[in-house]
Amino acid sequence: MQVTIEQSKLELVEGDITKQSVDAIVNAANTSLLGGGGVDGAIHRAGGPAILEECKRLGGCETGDAKITTGGNLPARHVIHTVGPVWHGGRSGEREKLASCYRRSLEVARENGLTSVAFPSISTGAYRYPLDEAAKVALRTVKEYLEAHTDIELVRFVLFGPESYRAYEQALEDLTAGRA
Ligand code: ADP
């Protein structure tokens, strides 16, 4: 599924983010930036040790913030590491922190002159953020960014499996129809 927002494309695909040929893929990392499971493990495995070497020099990353490294052996030239919130029931600022991940990642992309960015579904794995809620926050935040800035030409959500894809598809339909 694909929509146009101002001059930019926002698209949803089902697949593996490590295979994406874009300027940057975003990693759902943890605050240490020293590797983990899920999409983080997959990115370090596919990208090789150069990514971890750079991460070690970054001094970690706060929840909601984002930092950039090389893409190592990945088809993407860069990895933007962001740290999503752990879900604690929704009253601990989870929504704002998750929105901040998407905003900060796009700001870091822009600061580095990048124009195409692929995101995974941040926080919906080990961090247990409810998928439907996370999809709404993710898409709304990216839409607002693209409405306000023209530098990023493509944002692709790479959803791992049909359940994630369907949740994002429903959220994007609701958002574009003005239901969300
Ligand atoms: P978090 O700790 O932020 O919840 P996880 O990596 O556990 O991060 O999960 C985030 C999302 O990334 C989940 O929806 C998971 O299915 C997905 N995911 C795992 N591997 C990949 C991959 N190779 N490409 C894209 N998404 C992935």
pLDDT digits (tens, 9 = 90+) for 147-162: 999 999 999 999 999 9
* DSSP symbols for 62-107: -TT-EEEEE-TTSSSSEEEEEEPPPPSSS-SSHHHHHHHHHHHHHH
Residue 178 — very low, low, confident or very high, per pLDDT cuts 50/70/90? confident
Q: How many domains does the chain have?
A: 1
Question: For residue 32, how many other CB atoms are within 10 A of its CB?
Answer: 14
Whole-structure pTM value? 0.98
According to the model, what pLDDT value does residue 128 have? 98
pLDDT digits (tens, 9 = 90+) for 53-92: 999 999 999 999 999 999 999 999 999 999 999 999 999 9
Q: Ligand 1 pocket test: pick from 160, 163, 164, 165 the residue with the most ligand atoms within 8 Å of its Cβ.
A: 160
Rounded to the nearest angstrom, the distance between the alpha carbon of 125 and the centre of ligand 1 is 5
Report the CATH number that the domain containing residue 123 is assigned in CATH.
Answer: 3.40.220.10
Q: Check: CB of residue 79 under 8 Å from CB of residue 92.
A: no
Structural domain boundaries enclosing 56 = 2-176
Nearest CA to ligand 1 atom 23: 16
Rounded to the nearest angstrom, the distance between the alpha carbon of 161 and the centre of ligand 1 is 10
Q: In the annotation, is 40 catalytic?
A: yes
Averaged pLDDT, 130-139: 98
According to the model, what pLDDT value does residue 96 have? 98
pLDDT digits (tens, 9 = 90+) for 1-27: 999 999 999 999 999 999 999 999 999
Atom index in ligand 1 nearest the CA of residue 38 equals: 6
As a whole number of angstroms, the distance between CA 61 and CA 64 comes to 8
* Nearest partner of 66 among 96, 34, 28, judged by Cα: 28
According to the model, what pLDDT value does residue 179 have? 81
